[in-house]
């Protein structure tokens, strides 16, 4: 017993505080390690989702793809050099709202020619004398997206990087029939883009007469672009307008706006019908990618149907069919179509070949 106590006195006391700190530090390290693993797992999952989304987007048809699909064989696709030259012209020339009129005779050069000193319109024409520049006219049903398209056509290189932001040259309103006048946007000393009041519902008789006067009498008019809302397709006023342009011998092209809404609509349908993300039986694509490819076919069929029902494909001289989107979405990540439309504008005006 004595020996035991002697040995016991030689035993160093246990340092509980030091041991506890060591255990605590070890637990903290384990918790940090686990947290890092979980964070890395989340990052990897997010990365996989992003890669999966990017991979899926590669298979989603774009408005530009649709323009190429519906391009007639005698309308060749613009080359990269032509697009580059087009972009340079738009970026190097200042854009300005040159005049606004609610009566054809108030267009500055017409007013000057007729030596009209008093305006019958309440709208100021800015009291300028218009230079003889080529003009292109944008027509469409109310809320077809004319003002949004014009803003996209006039976007500068900096704004183009911010996909849903641009200078609002043409005011965009959710209220149908907001544009009441002819609005001329001058691009340097090159040309003018003319925005018009929408026709159809909420359109007014006086506005229609203004547009008709312009189409029938304007010697600087080079081409009309008829805008069709992709969601609604061709309406009766659209078909009547096209017949009128043909009768007047005015060259025109068709622009389907809001094409991103159709891409999103058909891809949403396919995702709801096929929610699994495994590999298809062929092993080449995942089921989501196969769904996107099938959605592409349905989108093409959708446009084929509305184009076929309009009868424009049966005309002696078929117009060009262009598609665009003024805003982006989860699947349509960029603004498509406006470069090609810019090219067609310049080509129509004889500025580029």
Q: Are 95 and 150 in contact (CB under 8 A)?
A: no
Name 269's Cβ contacts closer than 8 Å, sequence gap at least 6: 295, 298
Lowest mean pLDDT segment, chosen from 9-23, 40-54, 60-74, 202-216: 9-23
Q: Are 158 and 207 in contact (CB under 8 A)?
A: no
236-257: average pLDDT: 96
Taking 60 as the threshold, does the pLDDT of residue 121 lie above it?
Answer: no
Taking 70 as the threshold, does the pLDDT of residue 112 lie above it?
Answer: yes
pLDDT at 268: 86
pLDDT at 9: 43
pLDDT at 317: 80
pLDDT at 83: 97
Lowest mean pLDDT segment, chosen from 2-16, 257-271, 273-287: 2-16
Q: Where are the domains of the chain?
A: 70-348
Percent of the residues in the chain that have a pLDDT greater than 70, as a whole number? 68
Give per-residue pLDDT as tens, 56-66.
678 899 999 99
53-77: average pLDDT: 87
C-alpha 351, offset from chain centre: 24
pLDDT at 281: 47
Distances (CA, A) of 346 to 136, 193, 248, 312: 9, 11, 22, 24
Q: What 3-state class would DSSP assign to 255?
A: strand
Residue range 70-348, CATH number? 3.40.50.300
Name 99's Cβ contacts closer than 8 Å, sequence gap at least 6: 107, 108, 125, 126, 128, 130, 183, 184
265-270: average pLDDT: 84
C-alpha 64, offset from chain centre: 10
* pTM exceeding 0.75: yes
Q: What 3-state class would DSSP assign to 189?
A: coil
Taking 90 as the threshold, does the pLDDT of residue 261 lie above it?
Answer: yes
Taking 90 as the threshold, does the pLDDT of residue 118 lie above it?
Answer: no
Hey, what are 91's tokens?
Answer: 């970026």
Distances (CA, A) of 213 to 114, 259, 303: 16, 31, 32
Name 225's Cβ contacts closer than 8 Å, sequence gap at least 6: 136, 137, 138, 139, 252, 253, 254, 255, 341, 344, 345
Nearest by Cα to 258 from 172, 167, 149 = 149
Query: Per-residue confidence at 115, pLDDT binned at 50, 70, 90?
Result: low
Taking 70 as the threshold, does the pLDDT of residue 326 lie above it?
Answer: yes
The 10 Å Cβ neighbour count of residue 146 is 25
Give 55 or 349, the one with higher predicted confidence. 349
pLDDT at 59: 87
Nearest by Cα to 65 from 288, 225, 256, 309 = 256
Give 113 or 336, the one with higher predicted confidence. 336
294-314: average pLDDT: 94
The 10 Å Cβ neighbour count of residue 180 is 17
Give per-residue pLDDT as tens, 186-201.
999 999 999 999 998 6
246-259: average pLDDT: 97
2-19: average pLDDT: 44
Name 266's Cβ contacts closer than 8 Å, sequence gap at least 6: 295, 298, 299, 302
What sections of 70-172 are H helices per DSSP?
80-92, 108-113, 146-153, 157-161
pLDDT at 24: 60
Please give the mean pLDDT across all residues of the chain: 81
Give 155 or 12, the one with higher predicted confidence. 155
Give 170 or 315, the one with higher predicted confidence. 315
């Amino acid at each position: 017993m004595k020996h035991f106590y002697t040995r016991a006195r030689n035993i160093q006391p246990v340092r509980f505080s030091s041991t506890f700190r060591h255990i605590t530090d070890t637990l903290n390290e384990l918790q940090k390690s686990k947290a890092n693993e979980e964070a890395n797992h989340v990052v990897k999952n997010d990365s996989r989702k992003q890669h999966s989304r990017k991979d899926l987007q590669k298979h989603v048809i774009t408005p530009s793809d649709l323009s190429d699909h519906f391009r007639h064989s005698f309308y060749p696709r613009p080359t990269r050099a032509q697009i580059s030259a087009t972009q340079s012209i738009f970026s190097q020339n200042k854009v300005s709202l040159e005049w606004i009129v609610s009566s054809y005779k108030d267009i500055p050069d017409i007013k000057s020619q007729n030596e009209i000193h008093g305006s019958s319109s309440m709208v100021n024409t800015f009291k300028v004398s218009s230079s003889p520049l080529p003009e292109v006219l944008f027509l469409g049903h109310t809320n077809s997206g004319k003002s949004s398209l014009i803003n996209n056509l006039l976007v500068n290189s900096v704004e183009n990087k911010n996909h849903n932001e641009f200078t609002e040259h043409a005011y965009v309103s959710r209220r149908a029939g907001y544009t009441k006048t002819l609005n001329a946007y001058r691009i340097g000393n090159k040309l003018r883009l003319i925005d018009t009041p929408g026709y159809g519902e909420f359109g007014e008789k006086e506005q229609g007469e203004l547009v008709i006067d312009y189409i029938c009498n304007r010697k600087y008019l080079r081409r009309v672009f008829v805008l069709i809302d992709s969601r609604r397709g061709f309406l009766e006023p659209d078909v009547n307008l096209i017949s009128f342009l043909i009768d007047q011998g005015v060259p025109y092209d068709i622009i389907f706006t809001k094409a991103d809404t159709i891409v999103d609509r058909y891809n949403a349908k396919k995702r709801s019908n096929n929610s699994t993300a495994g590999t298809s039986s062929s092993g080449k694509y995942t089921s989501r990618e196969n769904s996107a490819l099938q959605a592409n076919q349905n989108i093409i069929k959708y446009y084929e149907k509305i184009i076929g029902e309009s009868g424009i494909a049966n005309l002696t001289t078929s117009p060009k069919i262009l598609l665009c989107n003024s805003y982006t979405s989860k699947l349509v990540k960029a603004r498509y179509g406006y470069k090609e439309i810019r090219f067609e504008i310049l080509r129509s005006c004889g500025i580029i070949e």
